[in-house]
Chains A and B, each alone.
Chain A
Amino acid sequence: MESVLLKNIGKPDAHRIENYVRNGGYRALAAALKLAPEHIIQMVKDSGLRGRGGAGFSTGLKWSFIPKDPTVAKYLCCNADEGEPGTFKDRGIMDNDPHLLIEGMIISSYAIGASNAYIYIRGEFVFGARRLEAAIKEAYERGYLGGDILGSGFNLDMYVHRGFGAYICGEETALLESIEGYRAQPRKKPPFPALSGLYGKPTVINNVETLSCIPAIIEKGPEWFAGIGPAKSPGPKIYCVSGHVKKPGLYELAMGATARDIIFNHCGGMLRDDRALKAVIPGGVSAPLLTPKDLDTPLDFDSLAAKGSMLGSGAVIVMDSSTCMVKTAYIINRFFSHESCGKCTPCRDGTPWLTKILRRLEHGEGRAGDVEMLESLCDNIFGRTFCPLGDGAVMALRGALKNFREEFQYHVDHKRCMAC
């Protein structure tokens, strides 16, 4: 498959506008500005593009919910609060090819009628934020941003908003609260952001990778995009591979690559040849793990959902036979507990409780009934929280308990680990 998302990464000074333009950049923008906004929305719908932030919602459909009234201000927000553990694809794009995202955002803003766009980047990504700010400045200087862009009459201002350490800002309404200067706690939906989003105005929130697909859809056509990978979740996909493999990194493949193909063909196999694969997290730590029997499952939205897991952010975390699943569950749950925003009780009180039990299991202080207590807590958190953070914590833990229950019980019975 021809690379479109990572194509410039690795080229010298790919982040500079003259190099981006030399490689064909901003041609899609010029073409898009000659089309009617509704036509672009239809193209994105026809492409079958589904949101790469995790939810997998149709991007074109999301855009079509924005009211058409030209007198109402509208916003585009790019969700660059990449925080799902194991995920580093958006950082890859922003650090190395910021104009790809910016071009995608300008086209998207034109399609939905937004005249202001924000990139919400997590605070730790200082390098990326500086890169984006410099790239935005270059885009203004060349007339791709500002007033009357390329003589089209379309105006757009673009800004970088830096987060400052809060995973919950990846939840789209928490992100809006954060831009407005509040604690980032999710809002009640409805109203959905398409009707009442940033500053109460119609707003689209899209992930970095999603927006970065837009220039290629304009240039190569929606049929090209729809023809890559599975019919119901097509397109190129960046898989972020980490953990026990020889060559971890970003891999842009046709959506629906299998974990086996990714690990053993693209990543050169397991890190140590004497250690077998034990488990794979297919889509960031919220996604229930897969075991070796599921290695041929295509990593796309629907195939993983059918297996009880999810594609999420496309973060593939590979674990070999030396990995303790109790420790893994402890680390993952500690993360959710740390990042719970505190708005609702099941998540605020439930995730630390889970972490406390997992911690004592991991430290050889497990008690009889602990495994059952974990399951009971999961039942009392799942589906009862304000936003999906609590659900993510439970899905991850349930996946580990379902496949490796005997390891958890072993920690209770023997006060130590059977794997390490």
Chain B
Amino acid sequence: MLTENEKKELQAALKKYPNRRSAVMDALRIVQNGRGGHIVKEDMLEIASILEMQPAEVNAAATFYTMYNVNKPVGKHHIQVCRNISCSLMGAEHIIKHLERTLDIKTGQTTPDKKFTLSTVECLGSCATAPMMQINDDYYENLTDQKVDEILKNLK
């Protein structure tokens, strides 16, 4: 069930549009942010009923956009390393390997304590400060092994 705060946030989102369906992306984001970073079927059913959509239509939107983690729990800190060209030229692969070694997981996995999930993503628009990564909402740029270690230490 959506919490009162989530419902309030969704009502504010609905005010932006002339129809209810347009708020589906906001609704999914609100739910994902409030549920530890992923979305399950029950959430989508509830969104469908509030927005007067078919559940399949909500699912269709949720599974199209890559930032929705549908049925895919992520750790408390979701580390997303850019692997596109500008970051690759500046050593992104090395940073990814360093993170895999340090966290002792492969890309796409979550640490057993559910603290960290490691993903690779396409360009995040931070190309002059490559290599870079996003952890939850925040950007971390000009990465080196040492800088990555410090960032991880501060997140623990």
Asked if A pairs with B, the answer is yes
A interface, CB within 8 angstroms of B: 82-88, 90-91, 118, 122-127, 159, 161-167, 178-184, 199, 240-244, 248-250, 281, 285, 315, 317, 319, 323, 327-328, 331-332, 335, 338-339, 341
What 9 A-B pairs are tightest by C-beta distance, nearest first? A165-B66, A242-B127, A165-B67, A181-B21, A85-B123, A248-B128, A242-B86, A164-B65, A183-B64
Q: Do residues B61 and A88 form an inter-chain contact, with CB atoms below 8 A?
A: no
Among candidates B60, B124, B130, B137, residue contacting A242 with C-beta atoms closer than 8 Å: B130
Closest chain B residue to A245 by CB distance? B128
Q: Quick check: is B126 within 8 A (CB to CB) of the other chain? A: yes
Docked pose: A88 CA to B65 CA in angstroms: 21
Instruction: Report the Cα distance A87→B126, complex, angstroms.
Output: 8
User: Do B127 and A85 have beta carbons less than 8 Å apart?
Assistant: yes
Interface 9-residue window, one of B23-31, B110-118, B146-154: B23-31
B89 at the interface (CB under 8 A from A): yes
Closest chain-A Cβ to B131's Cβ sits at a distance in Å of 11
Q: Are B18 and A339 interface neighbours, CB within 8 A?
A: no
B65 engages A122 (CB within 8 Å): no
- Does B107 have its Cβ within 8 Å of any Cβ on chain A? no
CB-CB nearest in chain A for B20: A181
User: For window 40-66 of chain B, which residues contact chain A by CB distance below 8 Å?
Assistant: 51, 53, 57, 60-61, 64-66
Please tell me if the beta carbons of A199 and B19 are within 8 angstroms of each other in the complex: yes
Give complex CA distance A123, B127 in Å: 17
Q: Which one of A85, A118, A163 contacts B25 once the chains associate, using CB atoms below 8 Å?
A: A163
Interface size class of B (residues with CB under 8 A): 35 or more
A249 to B86, CA, bound (A): 12
- Is the C-beta of B77 less than 8 angstroms from some C-beta in chain A? no
Partner of A331, one of B19, B84, B128: B84
Contact in complex: A179, B86 (CB < 8 Å): no
Taking CB as reference atom, which chain A residue is nearest B86?
A: A242
B34 to nearest A CB, angstroms? 15
B90 at the binding interface (Cβ < 8 Å): yes
- B16 contacts partner chain A, Cβ-Cβ < 8 Å: yes
A159 and B130 form a contact (CB under 8 A)? no
- 10 more CB-based (< 8 A) A-B contacts, given A124-B124, A164-B67, A243-B127: A86-B123, A127-B138, A161-B22, A165-B66, A165-B68, A182-B60, A184-B65, A240-B127, A285-B84, A328-B88
Other-chain residue from B61, B85, B127, B139 in contact with A127 (beta carbon distance below 8 A): B139
Cβ of B109 under 8 Å from chain A: no
Would B16 and A323 count as touching, CB distance under 8 A? Answer: no
In whole Å, how far is B53's beta carbon from the nearest beta carbon of chain A?
A: 8
**Across the two chains, which residue of chain A brings its CB closest to B25?**
A164
Q: Report how far A249 CA is from B129 CA in the complex, Å.
A: 8
Least CB distance, B16 to chain A, in whole angstroms: 4
* CB–CB A285/B85 < 8 A: yes
- What is the CA–CA distance of A328 and B84 in the complex, to the nearest angstrom? 9
Inter-chain contacts of A249 with B (CB < 8 A): 128
Please determine whether A338 and B122 come into contact, CB atoms closer than 8 angstroms. yes
